[in-house]
Amino acid sequence: MTNKTLVSATVNNEPVEFLCEPQQSLLECLRDILGLTGTKEGCNDGNCGACSVLLDGQLVNSCLVLGVEIEGRAITTVEGLADWRGLHPIQQAFLEADGFQCGFCTPGILIATKALLDRKPNPTEADIRAWLSGNLCRCTGYDKIVRAVQVAACHLNNTCEVDA
């Protein structure tokens, strides 16, 4: 018999309840139980960052968090960035700056970017590179990702020049 646990948590500002087994990672719970497939599995060992989510506002690899651990806690995934007003300024910035190619690492990078800009609204290029070093991207060479984060920062700080 499986020993399933009922977990109550908040995911993208919505209350959720789900049953999971202790060995199921948060990533599996999000994707396979809650149907939130925006969060991706790249390596399942914490080395690629594709599964990045926010746990109580803190950046974590959801493959290295157990689903049972999130009892009473709040998760933000890529699906929780946009709201009824439209895309989040970070998403908008990645569109404007072509900050992705295949788009597979993008959800994790958007989440990591949110975590960065929440704590450091004006990061330097070095800050951005260091912070995103746990999020592998094989397509872009990071150049346009770094620039997209810079555009996102200026969107969020209302410091963008017109027609930048």
Task: Give every CB contact of residue 33 below 8 A, 6+ residues apart in sequence.
Answer: 18, 19, 20, 24, 67
Nearer to another protein, 121 or 141 (CB): 141
Rounded Cα distance, 146 and 97, in Å:
9
Could you say which residues in the range 51-80 bind another protein, by CB under 8 A?
52, 55, 58-61, 63-66, 68-69, 71, 77-79
43 counts as binding another protein under rule CB under 8 A? yes
Options 11, 34, 132, 153; binder of another protein; rule CB under 8 A = 132
Options 11, 34, 38, 114; binder of another protein; rule CB under 8 A = 38
Rounded Cα distance, 70 and 26, in Å:
8
Rounded Cα distance, 114 and 89, in Å:
10
Nearer to another protein, 5 or 10 (CB): 5
What's the min distance (Å) between Cβ of 94 and another protein? 5
Nearer to another protein, 15 or 35 (CB): 35
Could you say which residues in the range 76-95 bind another protein, by CB under 8 A?
77-79, 81-82, 87, 91, 94-95
Token reading at 15: 């209350």
42 counts as binding another protein under rule CB under 8 A? yes
145 counts as binding another protein under rule CB under 8 A? yes
Total site size for another protein, rule CB under 8 A: 79
Query: Nearest 5 degrees, angle CA 147-CA 31-CA 48?
Result: 40
Task: Give every CB contact of residue 90 below 8 A, 6+ residues apart in sequence.
Answer: 81, 110, 113, 114, 117, 149, 152, 155, 156
